[in-house]
């Protein structure tokens, strides 16, 4: 008998009846006419949920079996079979799991707590992962001479979130990088998935991203690179919701800064709050990043003390 079960048994009246809920949690039967909700597992992240978010989450849980059936129409047992998303197992018969709650909440928050819209996004994400074959992309070996300098995961911020660097000028051979757009997208998705592996969904569920544009100019972009960037942006906005804590754009060319400010009025305030366009040079970049990342965790090229990539 677990400690929780023992405690529940000890406090229950001797003649009370007990029943197992749909979530597999042993719970004392309520008096006739009353309903006792299952015990809700809590973590540091779920403790941050608001009452409205809890209400939306409970409604969302009811929709999960149907969502899974819609995502996998060819699976006869889709409503009951477990699926894994970002390393978290979603078990339809036992949705009362703190990590699962954090994952599901991301879809709700991305859609302003609309259960129907969150469900649509969840279904689309599961379908896309299946069609894209994310698992195979994560196992694929990509040439280091092409992609090795384009992305780095190094250090943590002051709250323990991983810091991810996308170095767009890391390889100036655009034909090598973007000649095969689908290969680039597989690499980019695999890199994102590798970043997510560092999230435990108990204390950390987001990352910091640094987008470095050093060496990137208007003339250094071709049609393939533009199309690849557009497709990647669509993938991440549609299928990786609420995984970003903050995003810093560093060493940004002046023309790109101008474009950012041009589109700023069209961006949601929540998105803008996460984004910062920073100037060039270690000193200038450090002034922004050191507010989030300790110097020993930040590479010297960005104003820190770490001898990293």
Q: Both 284 and 169 in a single domain?
A: yes
Q: Both 116 and 175 in a single domain?
A: no
Q: Both 180 and 256 in a single domain?
A: yes
- Domains: count for the chain: 3
Residue 278 counted as domain residue: yes
Question: 107, 132, 157 — which closes off a domain?
Answer: 132
Q: Both 150 and 281 in a single domain?
A: yes
Q: Both 123 and 65 in a single domain?
A: yes
pLDDT of residue 11: 36
pLDDT of residue 38: 78
pLDDT of residue 69: 98
- pLDDT tens digits along 26-54: 344 556 666 667 789 999 999 999 999 99
Q: Both 168 and 277 in a single domain?
A: yes
End-to-end C-alpha distance for the chain, whole angstroms: 51
- pLDDT tens digits along 50-66: 999 999 999 999 999 99
pLDDT of residue 232: 96
C-alpha 90, offset from chain centre: 15
Residue 157 counted as domain residue: yes
Residue 137 counted as domain residue: no
User: Considering Cα of 283, then 287, then 289, then 292, what sign does the dihedral take?
Assistant: positive
Average pLDDT of the residues of the chain: 88
Q: Both 120 and 159 in a single domain?
A: no
Residue 307 counted as domain residue: no
Domain region containing 68: 46-132
Question: 91, 106, 132 — which closes off a domain?
Answer: 132
Residue 254 counted as domain residue: yes
Q: Both 68 and 163 in a single domain?
A: no
Q: Both 148 and 285 in a single domain?
A: yes
CATH number of the domain to which 287 belongs: 3.40.525.10
Residue 272 counted as domain residue: yes
Q: Both 107 and 3 in a single domain?
A: no
Residue 1 counted as domain residue: yes
Q: Both 262 and 124 in a single domain?
A: no
Q: Both 156 and 206 in a single domain?
A: yes
Would you place residue 197 in the very low, low, confident or very high pLDDT band (cuts 50, 70, 90)?
very high
- pLDDT tens digits along 15-27: 433 333 333 333 4
Contact 110, 125 (CB under 8 A): no
Residue 309 counted as domain residue: no
Higher pLDDT, 242 or 267: 242
Question: 90, 108, 132 — which closes off a domain?
Answer: 132
């Amino acid at each position: 008998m677990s400690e929780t079960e023992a405690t529940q048994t000890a406090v229950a009246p001797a003649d009370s009846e007990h029943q197992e809920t749909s979530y597999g949690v042993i719970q004392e039967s309520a008096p006739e006419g009353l309903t006792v909700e299952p015990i809700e597992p809590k973590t540091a992240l779920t403790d941050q949920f608001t009452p409205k978010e809890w209400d939306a989450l409970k409604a969302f849980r009811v929709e999960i079996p149907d969502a899974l059936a819609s995502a996998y129409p060819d699976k006869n047992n889709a409503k009951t079979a477990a699926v894994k998303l970002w390393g978290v197992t979603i078990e339809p018969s036992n949705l009362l799991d703190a990590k699962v709650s954090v994952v599901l909440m991301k879809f709700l928050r991305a859609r302003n707590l609309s259960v129907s819209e969150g469900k649509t996004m969840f279904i689309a994400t599961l379908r896309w992962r299946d069609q894209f074959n994310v698992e195979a992309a994560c196992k694929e070996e990509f040439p280091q001479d092409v992609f090795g300098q384009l992305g780095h995961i190094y250090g943590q911020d002051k709250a323990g979130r991983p810091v991810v660097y996308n170095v767009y000028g890391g390889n100036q051979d655009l034909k090598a990088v973007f000649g095969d757009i689908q290969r680039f997208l597989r690499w980019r998705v695999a890199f994102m998935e590798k970043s997510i592996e560092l999230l435990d969904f108990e204390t950390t569920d987001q990352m910091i991203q640094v987008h470095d544009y050093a060496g990137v100019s208007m003339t250094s972009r071709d049609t393939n690179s533009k199309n690849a960037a557009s497709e990647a942006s669509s993938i991440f906005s549609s299928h990786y919701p609420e995984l970003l804590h903050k995003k810093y754009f560093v060493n940004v060319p002046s023309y790109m800064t101008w474009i950012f400010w041009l589109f700023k009025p069209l961006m949601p305030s929540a998105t803008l709050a996460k984004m910062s366009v920073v100037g060039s040079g270690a000193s200038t970049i450090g002034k922004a990043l050191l507010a989030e990342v300790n110097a020993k965790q930040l590479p010297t090229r960005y104003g820190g003390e770490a001898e990293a990539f």
